[in-house]
Amino acid sequence: MKDEFGGFLIEREHISCLQIRVLFFWVDGSVWKMQLRQDAAGASTSTKLLSPSEGFGLLLFSGLDLTVSLLIISYLLPPQSLPLNPISRRKVSPPIYFSGVPPELILVIQLKLEVNIPLAMLSTLQPPRSLTLLPFRRFHGSKTIASLASSSPTLDASSVSPPQSQILTTRRSLLSGETTASEIAKSYLSRIRLTEPQLKCFLHVSENVLKEAQEIDQRISRGEEVGPLAGVVIGVKDNICTEGMPSTAASRILEHYRPPFDATAVKKIKEMGGIVVGKTNMDEFGMGSTTEASAFQVTANPWDLTRVPGGSSGGSAAAVAARQCMVSLGSDTGGSVRQPASFCGVVGLKPTYGRVSRFGLMAYASSLDVIGCFGSTVADAGMLLHAVSGYDRFDSTSSKQDVPEFDTQFLSMDSFESKPLKGVRVGLIRETLEEGVDSGVRSATQEAASHLEALGCVVTEVSLPSFSLGLPAYYVIASSESSSNLSRYDGVRYGNQVMADELNKLYECSRGQGFGGEVKMRILMGTYALSAGYYDAYYKRAQQVRTLIRKDFKAALDHNDILISPAAPSAAYKIGEKKDDPLAMYAGDIMTVNVNLAGLPAIEKLLKVGHIFEQTLKGSDFVPPTLPNVA
Catalogue the active-site residues.
Answer: 237, 312, 336
Nearest Cα to Cα of residue 350 among 388, 323, 315: 388
Residues 65 and 72: their CA atoms lie apart, in Å, by 22
Pairing of strands 15-26, 458-462: unpaired
List CB contacts of 538: < 8 A, sequence separation 6 or more.
476, 480, 528, 529
Could you tell me which residues come within 8 angstroms of residue 230 by beta carbon, excluding any fewer than 6 positions away?
170, 171, 174, 181, 216, 219, 220, 272, 273, 274
Helix (H, G, I), strand (E, B) or coil at 88: coil
Strand, helix or coil for residue 233: strand
Contact 319, 235 (CB under 8 A): yes
Residue 596 burial by Cβ neighbours in a 10 Å radius (0-12, 13-18, 19+) = buried
State the DSSP H helix or E strand holding residue 20, giving kind and residue range, or none if neither.
strand 15-26
Amino acid sitting at position 155: L
Count each helix (H run) and each strand (E run) in the chain, helices first.
15, 16
CA 606 – CA 628 distance, rounded (Å): 33
Contact 361, 353 (CB under 8 A): no
Q: Give the pairing type, strands 31-39 and 105-115.
A: unpaired
> 162 and 611 in contact (C-beta within 8 Å)?
no
Beta bridge partners of 20: 36, 111
Length of the chain in terms of residues written: 631
442 near 435, Cβ under 8 Å?
no
Q: Residue 453: phi, psi to the nearest 5?
A: -60, -40
Nearest to 340 by CA among 370, 378, 299: 299
Distance between CA atoms of residues 595 and 604, nearest Å: 12
- From the list 388, 381, 382, the residue with the least C-alpha distance to 354 is 388
Q: Is 422 left (phi over 0), alpha (psi -120 to 50) or beta?
A: beta
H helix intervals, 222-313: 264-271
Longest dimension (CA), the chain: 89
At residue 344, φ and ψ (nearest 5 deg) are -100, 0
Residue 360 backbone zone (phi > 0: left; psi -120 to 50: alpha; other: beta): left
Q: Which of the 8 DSSP states describes residue 162?
A: P
* Of residues 184, 177, 189, the one with CA closest to residue 229: 184
